[in-house]
Structure 1
Amino acid sequence: MSARKKCKLVQAENLIPLATTATLNPIDWNLCALCQKPSSKPLNCPAQSKRTDSGAGYVTLGDNLKNFLQLGKRPLPIHIARLDEGDGIGNTLARNHAQWQTSCRLKCSAIRLARAEETALPSTSSTCSSDSQGQPYKLRQAESTNTPTVSNYFFCGKVGTEVMPLHEAMTPRITHRVRQCALKLQDQKLIARLSHGDLVALEAKYHASCLVKLYNASNRKSEEDMKDSSDRVSHGIALAELIGYIEDTKSSVTVNDIAPVFKLVDLLRLYTDRLVELGVWITERIHSTDLKN
């Protein structure tokens, strides 16, 4: 019968601000920088590459890890902030000639990041926003009978006139911009129409006023979401740092039969203090149940 593990309460006065927890356990650069575990297999080190752009591997990985941190995701077993010595993750990795296992590097790949960003996108069935007069912006679909081809119109379903002539999409840039607007507005009908291909290839035509209305709606949506998005990123960073602090504290305990125990009220205070440091304006009390969830 195994011995029962003892627990030790981490006192509130011993809690360290989250912003400084990255210095608790310095990285051992002789090990895999991404997991800090010994490996029998050779480690990959971009600094040893003979390519002229050998440092690009550090820059790419640094950017990916920064984006993971902003999303509040932790693809690695270690706290990502430990890889930043103050001048950015990429610079820190390059300066210390960081090396890693292939399996660890794949966890931070652009594909994994794209999947994380997709899961972080808010899901909504709304297909409307506001135009410059405050009226709802929506894609109006033509009647099921006698439907013109997609090349006759794209946004409003109306034919061109002398006053409002139709313009033909001529550059790939317009497809990229329209797709960005559609995703930002979560306009499912417009997204579906874009799935048929590039606007230039479809010979899509549009009224200039419809395109401007779409751009204006997207710009207003960006302004409305800017603060909410910034706060969400800050909440994600604070939560990731709090989790990293807890895990680092557990790993720093040298006695195997003692497990650290934290008071939820103390963790909530750490979390709230870090949000304030990140510039979040807290207008209502954060409940401890939010951390449990």
Structure 2
Amino acid sequence: MKKPVYYAPHGGHPPQTQLLTDRAIFTDAYAVIPKGTMRDIVTSNLPFWDKTRAWILARPLSGFAETFSQYIVEVAPGGGTEQPDTDPDAQSALFVVEGGATLTIDGETHELTEGSFAYIPVTAEWTLRNDTSSDCRFHWIRKAYEWVEGIDAPPALVTNDADVTPTEMPDTNGAWATTRFVDPADMRHDMAITIVTFQPGGVIPFLETHVMEHGLYVLEGKAVYNLNNDWVEVEAGDFMWLRAFCPQACYAGGPGPFRYLLYKDVNRHPGL
């Protein structure tokens, strides 16, 4: 089986001779943040994180997507945090795209490597430290947990992309599959983080139009994506940010698999 590929930004800056052309798009229905915009100058520092910087790809915006934030975090050797989040209502999901780190959740230690996924509940205390000799880069998705009376918060979970069998979508002959890190029927979870894989030629053959907001980070490959009836080319390292009800579909043109990390909000009544 081919080893998965995970694109990770490294920053830097283009030369002064480069033309000012790129694929960045921001509309009232969707945004495309291409990998070429993830430069040193747009990184952010985070409170209580040492030797760390982050590309903040999404944050709640009134009138756009409002449920989550998503970062790509880069932690240098020896860096990390003993106090990762200043919001007591935040739950977190981490997905490692390069390097490794040591994650501790409520006193239990986990060694993260490329492809590691960690779900960290709102009630947990956690730390992260890069004890390796190279940078660690990971996605960090945060969402305020929506409590429901009679339903407990979900437990912590640490697994790896390589250890989860993808679920083939019906009637696709394996051309479209989803790697689900948690059971979608588990009502304790109010967000879902998955990896969607299309083989060359695979398609979403209708315009999905639904209440869930999305963050989609392309881990591998390329495709053309229909976003609110605009056809947009995307490739590894690009991020798509979709508000609720934005029509969406895609065609994976190849030559290899097209894979993306997907966020969506699930399993709750819309707020009134």
TM-score range, shorter chain: under 0.3
* TM norm structure 1: 0.21
* TM norm structure 2: 0.22
Greater relative contact order (Cα < 8 A, sep 6+): 1
Structure (1 or 2) with the greater strand fraction: 2
Structure (1 or 2) with the greater helix fraction: 1
Give the structure with higher Rg (CA).
Answer: 1
